[in-house]
Amino acid sequence: MASGPDEDGRERIVQASIPANDVEKIAGEQALEQRAMKLADQAKQADESFSKDLRPRRFQDYVGQRAVVDSISIAVMAAKKRGDVLDHALFHGPPGLGKTTISQIIARELDSQLIHTSGPALERPADVVGLLSNLKRGDVLFIDEIHRLSHAVEEYLYSAMEDFRVDFMTGAGAFAKSINLPLQPFTLIGSTTRAGMLSAPLRERFGLAYHLDFYSTEELAQVVTRSAGILEIDIDETGAHEIARRSRGTPRISNRLLRRVRDFAEVRNSGTVTDKVASDALEIEGVDKLGLDRLDRLYLLTLSKNYQGGPAGIQALAATINEDQQTLEDVVEPFLLKIGFIVRTPQGRRTTPDGFGHIGLPPRLDGPAGQGTLL
């Protein structure tokens, strides 16, 4: 998540990081999982900090996702016109596709304050009650990684979202008292890479829900050209398309690759970034023609070679690759599924003939698994 106030100072940030001491206390697997998540958060933050000024600030600058932008911008305009607060909105889809960005745009277009927090930051019910009671009419409360909210915290959100009130208990035993606290009407925007992990009661309380899908090469070329303009990088159309093709359908990756290509062009004195400059630079980075990086290829190779194309369970794959299971599920698999290199079956993951082809292996013809991969 972003780690400081937005340039125009509208955003208040609630600290989301997990203190190192707390992590140490949690034993065994849980500690490992927490550490992996923390590392993922830090990687994301590093990414965000460099791409901050590249974030589109208005709907018209937001590239692609036309259906989503059309629908949400109408809802925003209608709410503004009526002087109402916007319905609660949920954005889900793979990392780096613009969920946080569009949420910030919504708050800006509503002329509202955005309060940015995340599921793991709201540890105790008191955190969420404090946050909700401080909201002003029309504020936008953005909860990143909303699937990581604890169950207890989630329950407070139900009445807050539906009736703009929270009920909580104070005192204990004979002194226990139930307090009903009215809230100012607000808009909750949730963002998640794991819509499936949201409980049904929470999901149903969002009046607006959108799935963000991977971007086309054409759209990503627009993202690259726009970012190159802001960063004053000299790039031609072929260069922008080459970076776009290798961006795994993801604007965050486009921006990252653009930086790498710029470094390469500066060191080599290449002048204008063309397709040749971009492809030379990205080969060095280990990003292949389809945008697969080392981890994507390692996943594909492990599934195809060690497990003969599957079916293999995600836990077994994660253990063999020595990589966090959630990273594989959130970051690696969605794109491999999208381009048809793997399929998910009830028995586990399988490599498709195209997947075998990409890493230069013949598809398996023998046995039930092999037949399955050719279907």
Catalytic residue among 101, 187, 192, 193: 193
Annotated catalytic residue within 6, 44, 55, 99: 99
25 is known as an active-site residue: no
Residue closer to ligand ATP (CB basis): 51 or 187: 51
Q: How many CA atoms lie within 13 A of 141 on its CB side?
A: 26
Provide the token pair at 33: 């999982």
Under the binding rule (CB under 6 A), the answer on residue 308 touching ligand ATP is no
Q: Does the protein bind ligand ATP through residue 108 (CB under 6 A)?
A: no
Answer positive or negative: Cα dihedral of 372, 196, 207, 11: negative
CA–CA separation, 142 vs 189, rounded Å? 5
Radius of gyration of the chain (CA): 23
Q: Which of 6, 41, 100, 351 is catalytic?
A: 100
56-84 burial, b for 16+ CB within 10 Å, e for fewer? bbebeebbbbeebbeebbebbeebeeeee
101 lies in the binding site for Mg ion (CB under 5 A): no
Residue 117 makes contact with ligand ATP by CB under 6 A:
no
Within 159-198, which residues bind ligand ATP (CB under 6 A)? 191, 193
Instruction: Give yes or no: 338 in active site.
Output: no
Scanning 25-33, 53-61, 306-314, 350-358 for contacts with ligand ATP by CB under 6 A, the matching segment is 53-61
Say whether 210 sits in a helix, a strand or coil. strand
Q: Which does 291 bind (CB under 5 to 8 A by kind): ligand ATP, Mg ion, none?
A: none
Residue closest to Mg ion, measured at CB = 100
Of the candidates 77, 37, 80, the residue with the CA atom closest to the CA atom of residue 331: 37
Indicate whether 96 belongs to the interface with ligand ATP (CB under 6 A): yes
Rule CB under 6 A: say whether 98 interacts with ligand ATP: yes
* Cβ-contact 220, 248 below 8 angstroms: no
Which position among 62, 156, 206, 214 is part of the footprint of ligand ATP (CB under 6 A)? Answer: 62
Least separation, in Å, of the C-beta of 3 and ligand ATP? 13
Write down the catalytic residue from 6, 41, 139, 144.
144
For 10, 189, 227, 274, 297, the CA distances from 100, given in Å and listed in that order, are 15, 9, 17, 31, 28
100 is catalytic: yes
Write out the H or E segment, with its range, that includes residue 118: strand 114-118
What's the closest the beta carbon of residue 48 comes to ligand ATP, in angstroms? 6
Taking CB under 5 A as the criterion, the residue among 100, 118, 250, 373 binding Mg ion is: 100
Angle between helix 125-133 and helix 151-163 axes, rounded to 10 deg: 20
Q: Is 144 a catalytic residue?
A: yes
Binding test (CB under 6 A) with ligand ATP, winner from 241, 252, 350, 358? 252
Shortest separation between residue 27's beta carbon and ligand ATP, angstroms: 28
CB hemisphere CA count around 94 (13 angstroms):
21
Q: Is 274 a catalytic residue?
A: no
**Contact stretch for Mg ion (CB under 5 A) within 54-62, 96-104, 227-235, 327-335:** 96-104
Stretch binding Mg ion (CB under 5 A), from 100-108, 127-135, 296-304, 329-337? 100-108
Helix spans in the chain (H): 20-25, 28-51, 66-82, 99-109, 125-133, 151-163, 200-204, 217-231, 237-245, 251-267, 275-284, 294-301, 314-321, 325-327, 333-338, 353-358, 367-374
255 binds, among Mg ion, ligand ATP, none (CB under 5 to 8 A by kind): ligand ATP
352 class by beta-carbon count within 10 Å (0-12 exposed, 13-18 middle, 19+ buried) = buried
Only one of the segments 85-93, 98-106, 222-230, 304-312 lies at the binding site for Mg ion (rule: CB under 5 A); that segment is 98-106
Task: Kindly identify the residues of this chain, within the stretch 199-238, that bind ligand ATP according to CB under 6 A.
Answer: 223
Question: Which residue's structure tokens are 């208040």?
Answer: 12
Residues designated as active site: 99-100, 144, 193, 252
Residues that bind ligand ATP (CB under 6 A): 44, 51, 54-56, 62-65, 95-101, 144, 191, 193, 223, 251-252, 255
Residues that bind Mg ion (CB under 5 A): 99-100
